[in-house]
Each structure stands twice: as C-alpha cells, then as structure tokens.
Amino acid sequence: MTRHSDSRLRSTVIRVEFVALLAALALFLSTVEYLIPKPVPFMRIGLANLPLIIGLGLLHEREYLLLALLKILGQGLVTGTIFSYIILFSFGGTVSSAFIMFLLYRYGRRYVSLVGISIAGAMASNITQLQLSRVILFGDAARFIAPPFLMVGFATSIVLGLFAERFVSRSSWYAEHAQQEHLA
Amino acid sequence: MKQIRLGDIAIFIVSIAIIAFSLGRFTDFSGEPQVHVRTDGGEFIYDLGVDAFATFNGPVGETSIEIKDGKVHVHDSDCRNKVCISAGWVSRVGDWIICLPNNVFVLIEGAVAQETGGVDDTAF
Amino acid sequence: MRATNVKLFMGIISLPAILLQNNLIGIVLQTIYVIVLSVTSGRKFRVLPNLILLFSVSSAHLLQPNGLLLFTIGSFSVTLGALLLGARKALALIALLYLSHYMVTGKPQFPGRLGRLISLQFFYFDAITTKWRGIAPKRPFILAIDKLLHTVSEQSAGDRQRSESAPAMASAIDLARQGVHVVVLWGLFLAGSLHVLPVLI
C-alpha cells in the first residue's frame, strides 16, 4: 500500500466534521453492541473501537487523539457514567489502547496488520483497566477477574481486527477518505 | 486469510503469554499470614500485612492490638499484670500472645511453607 | 448559568460528599437519595446489575479478612469488616453512577471548542441512528455501514445550524432545587463523619 506522505504536506488542520462523524460512529456501535444479546453480560465485544482502528488510516495524530477523547466523553455522556469511577476505566483503557495502536500503525505497518493492532490495543486497554480496578475497586482480588476478562477481550479483538481489515478493503467510503492527505 | 503478517503472530504469542501468566496468578492462593484473635465476643481475623488497630471487650475491660509493618502486638489492655503487653511484637506464623484475665488470645496463622527454608530452623 | 448546566454543576459539587463518605449508613442514605433523584428524572433502576455489582465488589474485599469472623466456607473466612468495607465501596460506586445519570438528564452543554465538538458528535450520532433505520438491506453489514456513512456525510451544514438555539437561563426554582440536593448530600456526609450516624465500621 503506497502512501504519499510528503512531510511538507503534513496537515495540522483538524477536520472537525470528519472526526465528529467517526466519534459518533463509535457511540452508535456501542449502542448496537449493547443491544446484542450476550450469554455473559460482561462480555464486551468492543465494537465501539472500530472507528479507532479504521481511523488509523484516515486521521493524523491530533485528529486521532481528538477522536479518542470524543469517544470517551461521548460514551460517558450516553451511558451516564461520566462522573463516576467508570469513566476512569474507559479513559485509561481507551487512551492506552489508542496510544499503542497509533504507534504500531505509524511505525510497524509493515509488520502488523489491523488484526495484530486490534489485539495489541485490546490487551493494552484491558490490562490498564485491570490495574485501575485493582487500585480503585477490587484490590488484589482483581487478579481473579483478570483471566476471563483478558481472554474475552483477546478473542473479540481478533474478530474486530478481521472485520476492520475487511471494512478497509471493501468500503468505498473509506477509500474515498483515505486518499486525502493524512499522516500515519 | 487476509494478509496475516509477522507482527500479528508476535503480538498473538505475547498476548497468550500474558493470559497464561494471569491464569497462574489466579490459582496462587498463598496463605498470607493472618492474625486471629479469639475472645468472648467471637473470633476476629486480620491480615498481617495490613496496618490496623482493633479493640476487643472481655471480662476485665478492653484489650487492643496493633498491626504494623507486618508485626502485631498488644497495644493496651485493662488487665492488671499487663503481661500481654510486655510480650512485645510478634510476626511469625505460630507466634501467639494471650491476655488471660481478659480472655483475649492472639495467634498468627498461615501457611508455614512461605517462610524461608520451609523447614524448622530449630529442628536440631 | 444555563438551565441545562445546573444539574451538572450540582453533581460536581456533591461528588466529594459521596467519595469521602466513610460511614456505611451515610453512604446507604446518600445512595438511596441519588437513586430516587435519578429515577424521578427518567432513569430506570434495575435491581439485578446493581446487585451483581454490590455482590462482586463485596466478595472481592472478603479476600482480605478484617474483623469479626462470621462463618467459613471451606478454608475461606468471611469477615464482617471486609464485607462492610466492600459494601461501602460498591455503594459509593452505585451512588456516583446514578448521580452522573442524573447530571446528564439536563442535556448539559459544555462550553468552549470541545463543547461544540461534542455537540457536533451528538448531532451526527442522532443522524446516524435515524438514518440507520432507513438502511436496507442490513446484510452484508460492511456495505450497510458504508451506505450509512455516505448518507450521513452528506448531511448539510444547514441542518446543523438550525438545531442550535439560544440557551435558556436557569430559573431561581431550578437553582433552589439543586441547592437542596447539594445540602442533603453534604449534610449526610457531615453526619457520617461527625458520627451523628451510628458507626458500624
């Protein structure tokens, strides 16, 4: 996949509409996920992370950061958790996940596909959330929810990564916007 | 399969390793030493590793213990001889302090295996 | 202060009163109060998820024994102190949850550029959810999302301008009502810390 990334064309303009749209997509997907019946209520597929994965190829770093922020705030407002402990988990998880995914995409694109990026992002997010829950909520007992939590996140991130790869190759909307100048 | 690359496999393996590690810690029910206090009012348990202060009622009054830095001692007691206080700090599994007049028995319980060596030093 | 932001402000001020609450009865009362507030503004209270939360956090705390031994399950000791501590933490979390539910019922508008961005995000969110119903077929999923994105992107900016209107200011009654909530929550906190309420742990 050839990219024409001339540093002179590095854009610092934040395409506000674009980022807001992706952020809105994240909210939408989290409600979709909410409505999917699950055998175990704690199983979070992380559909809402899809825009964060897709956005890797569409946004430059400032926009990407903004996307992550909007996703966190948006989810907090929609679920009404914005002023509780839970927002901290969302914040920690999303930030660490976005950070790792962005770095991997920027520097490791040759070695990792979106699947690997998705897995890495999910692991980073879940480990961060586990550590936070250890400090805030459970204490050392957090190690008991660690294995199932990590396993479910691992499995679902693979599915999500595969989905993202497919989307990127098939979506015309994506193709249209990926041609615009971006930095990644 | 879509292009699965080298890095994907690396990340996959690392993740599996992390999950395995978390499973290992899952079954690590190490018997951390606990301070058991038996009194008239019932049995009380505290974690030796967590600083705490507790007071118990008995026939002659109150007896309080303090847990600090992985050690425990009787801080204060209403008994006449205060033998229990002079017993000082204890920290090893199996150590105990008792206040007979006030019927307070403090014992450190736990898995002996985590002591270094695991075998009684005083065996010989 | 804008009418939409009063509840938000109230919540923020009351937050520490819940976080710092050390008394079990105090937090129980605060939690009940907040749940009632939340339910009266439309949020549903479902017993099961909260019960699960209460149970799991309390159980997690049982792993570190503290206080009076109630009973043992095998080699596992259930202590009163640990149980109450866990309950207190779980209730604090639940209280915060419902407080924040309540805070957002006013549809607060955040100031500044970030605020406008969030409003824009929600505008698109609304657009996406309404347009999604019109999308058919929904399988294959990717193509459906694709269509959705195309349709929504074409939303004219004109639609957006029309939905932003002049903000209404808060009335004295609104302020007074929220003021009552602040007083109650802080009052309960003070009652708890000054040991006016019975101390269980």
- Summarize pLDDT for C171-195 with one digit per residue, the tens: 888 888 888 888 888 888 888 887 7
Q: What sign has the CA pseudo-torsion C41, C47, C52, C54?
A: positive
User: How far away is chain A from the Cα of B111, in angstroms, using its nearest Cα?
Assistant: 19
Residue C78, SS3?
strand
Q: How far C113 CA lies from chain B's nearest CA (Å)?
A: 38
pLDDT at A65: 92
Nearest CA in chain C to A84: C96
Domains in chain B and their CATH numbers? 33-116 (2.60.320.10)
Q: Are A162 and A53 in contact (CB under 8 A)?
A: no
Whether the CB of B54 is below 8 Å from some CB of chain C: the reply is yes
Backbone angles phi, psi at A107, to 5 degrees: -105, -20
Which of B2, B40, B44 best tests the C interface by mutation, with the highest count of C CBs <10 A?
A: B44
Task: Tell me which residue in A28, A76, A83 faces C125 most closely, judged by beta carbons.
Answer: A28
Interchain pair A116, B8: CB under 8 A = yes
| Residue of chain A nearest B10, judged by CA positions | A116
pLDDT of residue A2: 47
Q: Which residues of A touch B (CB under 8 A)?
A: 104, 108, 110-113, 115-116, 119-120, 123, 127, 143-144, 146-147, 150-151, 154, 162, 165-166, 169
- % of residues, chain C, pLDDT over 70: 88
Does the pLDDT value for residue A184 go beyond 60? no
Q: B116, exposed or middle or buried, with CB in 10 Å at 0-12, 13-18, 19+?
A: exposed
Distance CA B53, CA B62 (A): 13
| Inter-chain residue contact A171 with C99, CB threshold 8 Å | no
Neighbouring chains of C at 3+ CB pairs under 8 Å are: A, B
Residue A51's pLDDT band (cuts 50, 70, 90): very high
DSSP state of C103: H
Q: What is the mean pLDDT of chain A?
A: 81
Interface test with B, best of C63, C68, C79, C199 (most B CBs within 10 A): C68
User: What ipTM was predicted for this assembly?
Assistant: 0.81
* Contact criterion met (CB < 8 Å) for A108 and B7: yes
CATH number for the A3-180 domain, one of 1.10.1760, 3.90.1720, 1.10.3470, 3.30.1330?
A: 1.10.1760
Give the contacts of C147 (CB within 8 A, at least 6 positions apart). Answer: C135
End-to-end alpha carbon distance in chain C = 40
Q: Are residues B47 and C65, on separate chains, in Cβ contact within 8 Å? A: yes
The DSSP code sequence of chain B is -----HHHHHHHHHHHHHHHHHHHHHT------EEEEEETTEEEEEETTS-EEEEEEETTEEEEEEEETTEEEEEEE-SSS-HHHHT--B-STT-EEEETTTTEEEEEES-GGGSSSSS-GGG-
Given pLDDT bands bounded at 50, 70 and 90, which one contains residue A154?
Answer: very high
User: For position B48, what pLDDT does the model report?
Assistant: 85
Query: Which of these ranges, A128-142, B23-37, B71-85, C179-193, has the smallest mean pLDDT?
Result: B23-37
Which residues 26-55 of chain C have a CB within 8 Å of chain A?
43, 49, 52
Query: Where are the domains positioned within chain C?
Result: 1-109+168-201, 110-166
Q: pLDDT > 90: what percent of chain A? A: 26
Give tens-digit pLDDT for C75-131.
677 888 888 888 888 888 888 888 888 887 766 777 777 888 888 888 888 888 777
